[in-house]
Amino acid sequence: MKIIKLSEKTAIEQAISTLKHSGSIVYPTDTVYGLGVNPFDDFIMRRLFRIKKRPSEKAVPLIVKNIAMAKKLAYIDSSAEKILKAIWPGSVSVVLKKRDIVPNWITSGKDTISLRMPNNDFCIALIRAFNGPITSTSANISGEEPMTDAAKVYERFRKETFRPDLIIDAGVLEQGQASTILDLSQGKPRILRVGPVSAKEIADIFKVK
């Protein structure tokens, strides 16, 4: 497990090399540290579940660089697109009906997928350089609190049998809260989890009850 500073000139290059060689990275987002792998790589996806000790029935969220990339992964009608344009980039993950291109190991066999466009320059640069979506489950053991300090992420995983390959250290993140989750897969929007964006803020903007 290697740790490098976000400020290193080769941070993106090292992250992309790790992702393309079936590796896993811990990276900073606009919420908490995320655990990133290539979601279309079956081998590393299985390893991700071992790293997090995550139950196999739990789906894995992805981050995208824009709505166009999201449309390749999920069915997005004009109504949903209007909502996405209002809340992205930002700390709201959106649950949508997935397209057939999305493997079942990402969604745990469900017909929906959770996507987010982060409001974070490094994340967007990472996705662009990788030229595809990246997993964005929180970098912690399943059931434990998400982490906002790269040093604590390192300490938590360093003695584990399964651990991330690369940690990109941006210090202590300001936000410190996992994203709000908005479900658009059933027609009427529903808030599944309240995070940095409150239920009132969602309700005020989209009149979600």
Cα separation of 66 and 63, whole Å? 9
Q: Would you say 121 and 61 are in contact if contact means Cβ atoms under 8 Å apart?
A: no
Q: What is the mean pLDDT of residues 59-65?
A: 98
Confidence class of residue 206 from pLDDT cuts 50, 70 and 90?
low
* Tens digits of residue pLDDT in 85-128: 999 999 999 999 999 999 999 999 999 999 999 999 999 999 99
What domains sit in the chain, N to C, each tagged with a CATH number? 2-176 (3.90.870.10)
**Which strands make up the sheet holding 25-27, listed edge to edge?**
2-5, 166-169, 25-27, 34-36, 137-138
Q: Please give the C-alpha separations between residue 47 and each of 105, 146, 165, in angstroms, as whole numbers.
A: 12, 19, 11
If we measure between CA atoms, which residue out of 62, 65, 47, 63 comes closest to residue 103?
A: 62
Q: Which residue(s) pair with 193 in the sheet?
A: 181
Confidence class of residue 207 from pLDDT cuts 50, 70 and 90?
low
Any idea which residue has 């900073």 for tokens?
A: 28
* Tens digits of residue pLDDT in 20-57: 999 999 999 999 999 999 999 999 999 999 999 999 89
Percent of the chain with pLDDT over 90: 88
Rounded to the nearest angstrom, the gap between the alpha carbon of residue 134 and the centroid of all alpha carbons in its chain is: 7
* Collapsed DSSP state (helix, strand, coil) of residue 155: helix
Lowest average pLDDT, out of 60-64, 74-78, 199-203, goes to 199-203
Confidence class of residue 199 from pLDDT cuts 50, 70 and 90?
confident
Residue 209's pLDDT is: 42
